[in-house]
Structure 1
């Protein structure tokens, strides 16, 4: 069972994300000491789970018996406060902060801490949806770093991903080839103010397939092998890493429909869930095997 943790304002008076690596380690050590001071004599192993979103918190601890059975134990409220300070201090701009942590201690001096910032914690009691919205206000994330479960509960609308192969569009690097096999394109240049935004979108989208080595640059007079052999997806489109490469290296714009799609999304990558990634992989592998 979790110990009740009353809602509170974000821990500490410092802005979020001010703990450096040493500060984080110091805080983790303080949490460990607080846990140990709460335990009965003769303990051998303990697991403490802290979950938080917005100002909602849950704290649960259990002693681990030799046979693996968990025995609930109460730890001092100070442990919850220290976890809250650590969470606040570990915020990263555009990435957010973690929403659950598991601290394991074993005698004589072994410990580990696991942080989770992407998956919905296994709550003892589902927090009010207002707390998910508060999380995104207190610890803002870039759109592509907002998991679907957090976006849904926080009232954030994210573009829907394709759910069938027919819905996924695939971008081509070139428009075709001429009679001797040289690449042909018939595309306008990107406006200067959009070039870097489009490039960031193309290169930061999740990589779903990658091969070792590099392909030949077909616009390089020497044909040097510098083109990444990767595929990316945003859940609606699939494109080779070469699309971003040729934009960066040769100012070759992606095909017009893909550029239009990126503009419609205001150059913001959505969160791409596992189902969308697996679908994109299946489309690519089916194409390669056909």
Structure 2
């Protein structure tokens, strides 16, 4: 039985980040680079690490990360473990010669793997860094071969997905999700389009990925009784290849891509409450 690592304090985290930053900065001669970026992805014993140096000419060049740097990133991952939430699965550290080292950690988002680990890799992850059930995202449960969490019974809530993963400095949406192969994308689209509509508008909205399309995105909502999603989810997958929220995607896969043709009145009320933010209707 694995013993979970002992968490370290925030001060120790920063010390390790600073050591990694200094190590990265030493990989290129002074005055020859604008930025050094390291990305580390891990699941159990499966580890991927990339280092890219952008020179003064603006051209990025890949470098082989030293073993000591990879080990130090693993040490940081263990030090940041917390009982319940676990630890991060991917990190991006960016070194700027003026501003120093910045770090971004993803605890629940699936990394963009070069080679997706086998199920045993994700099982090792959950053994080495145990998580409470509510902190195991749907995609990780699926990758590890775990059954999906049962939907809440009775007075539970219907979930709504994230359309994207944030915004960049210019306000454009960011996507950090594994792309779908065409065959699966078609099955996901069929599911998204088959669920019952619970709220609809006659007008369309703007396309966040193509600002010139001002009347393109369907302004409707569908539900399968567990999730409620806007028409934008299917639209962005169809038009721009943007996969759904990883937890919604894991749910669709768990249902074997078969959407219910109808949902109960209670589920419809829950979906409307999730969409509008208004309290659900109750019987007299």
User: Could you say which TM-score interval applies, normalised by the shorter chain?
Assistant: 0.5 to 0.7
Q: Deviations over 1:114-152 (max 9, x none)?
A: 000101100111112101000011111111100111101
Aligned length: 180
1:21 aligned to 2:10?
yes
Contact 2:89 2:111 in 1 (8 A): yes
Contact 1:58 1:124 in 2 (8 A): yes
Please give the residue correspondences for 1:105-184 in structure 2 after superposition, counting only pairs within 5 Å: 105-161=95-151, 170=155
Contact 1:169 1:236 in 2 (8 A): no
1:83–1:96 distance in 2 versus 1, CA, 3 Å: same
Provide the C-alpha distance between the structure 2 equivalents of 1:237 and 1:47, rounded to a whole number of angstroms: 37
- 1:64 positional shift: 2.5
Q: Which has the larger radius of gyration?
A: 1
Please give the residue correspondences for 1:80-95 in structure 2 after superposition, counting only pairs within 5 Å: 80-95=70-85
- 1:281 positional shift: 7.4
Provide the C-alpha distance between the structure 2 equivalents of 1:147 and 1:289, rounded to a whole number of angstroms: 26
Computed over aligned residues only, the root mean square deviation of the Cα atoms, in angstroms, reads 3.7
1:283–1:124 distance in 2 versus 1, CA, 3 Å: same
**Paired residue secondary structure (2:33):** coil
1:79–1:169 distance in 2 versus 1, CA, 3 Å: same
- 1:71 positional shift: 1.7
Q: Deviations over 1:204-237 (max 9, x none)?
A: x9899xxxxxxxxxxxxxxxxxxxxxxxxxx859
Provide the C-alpha distance between the structure 1 equivalents of 2:62 and 2:87, rounded to a whole number of angstroms: 27
Q: Deviations over 1:27-54 (max 9, x none)?
A: 1111111111222441121111000110
1:33 aligned to 2:22?
yes
Gaps of 5+ in 1: 1-9, 163-167, 172-201, 209-234, 239-271
Please give the residue correspondences for 1:259-274 in structure 2 after superposition, counting only pairs within 5 Å: 273=247
Q: Deviations over 1:219-277 (max 9, x none)?
A: xxxxxxxxxxxxxxxx8599xxxxxxxxxxxxxxxxxxxxxxxxxxxxxxxxx94688x
Structure 1 length-normalised TM? 0.53
Contact 1:38 1:74 in 2 (8 A): no
1:159–1:280 distance in 2 versus 1, CA, 3 Å: farther
Provide the C-alpha distance between the structure 1 equivalents of 2:5 and 2:13, rounded to a whole number of angstroms: 13
Q: After superposing the two structures, state which structure 1 stretch, 61-70 or 81-90, moved more.
A: 61-70
**Paired residue secondary structure (2:102):** strand
**Paired residue secondary structure (2:116):** coil
Contact 2:227 2:248 in 1 (8 A): no
1:97 to 87, 94, 97: 87
Contact 1:169 1:237 in 2 (8 A): no
**Paired residue secondary structure (2:73):** helix
Contact 2:18 2:101 in 1 (8 A): no
Contact 2:44 2:123 in 1 (8 A): yes
Provide the C-alpha distance between the structure 2 equivalents of 1:132 and 1:50, rounded to a whole number of angstroms: 16
Provide the C-alpha distance between the structure 2 equivalents of 1:80 and 1:37, rounded to a whole number of angstroms: 15
Provide the C-alpha distance between the structure 2 equivalents of 1:90 and 1:121, rounded to a whole number of angstroms: 17
